[in-house]
């Protein structure tokens, strides 16, 4: 249900392109989507790291952000 609400599933219940990106991260689905959208919107690395760190969900925030930045270029 959460993946559908986040827009990660198509009409048949299969992962769509956003959903496939989201499952690449060892994060809660909502945080994965936040990371993907934030990179698309050009948010700074420091803003993303502070938000993810505040949620205490990942010790690898900078690596995830770097990965996203690399695949977007």
pTM for the model stands at: 0.62
Measured distance CA(12)–CA(48) in Å, rounded: 32
Closest alpha carbon to 48 in 30, 27, 28, 34 = 34
- Sign, Cα dihedral of 7, 50, 68, 25: negative
> For each of the chain's 73 residues, which pLDDT tens digit applies?
889 999 999 999 999 999 999 998 888 888 888 888 877 777 766 666 666 665 555 555 666 666 666 655 5
**Side-chain-side CA neighbours of residue 14 (13 Å):** 3
């Amino acid at each position: 249900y959460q993946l559908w609400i986040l827009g990660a599933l198509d009409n048949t219940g299969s992962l769509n392109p956003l959903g496939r990106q989201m499952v690449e991260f060892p994060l809660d689905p909502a945080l994965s989507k936040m990371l993907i959208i934030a990179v698309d919107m050009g948010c700074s690395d420091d803003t993303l790291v502070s938000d993810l760190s505040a949620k205490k969900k990942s010790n690898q925030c900078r690596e995830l952000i770097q990965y996203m930045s690399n695949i977007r270029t």
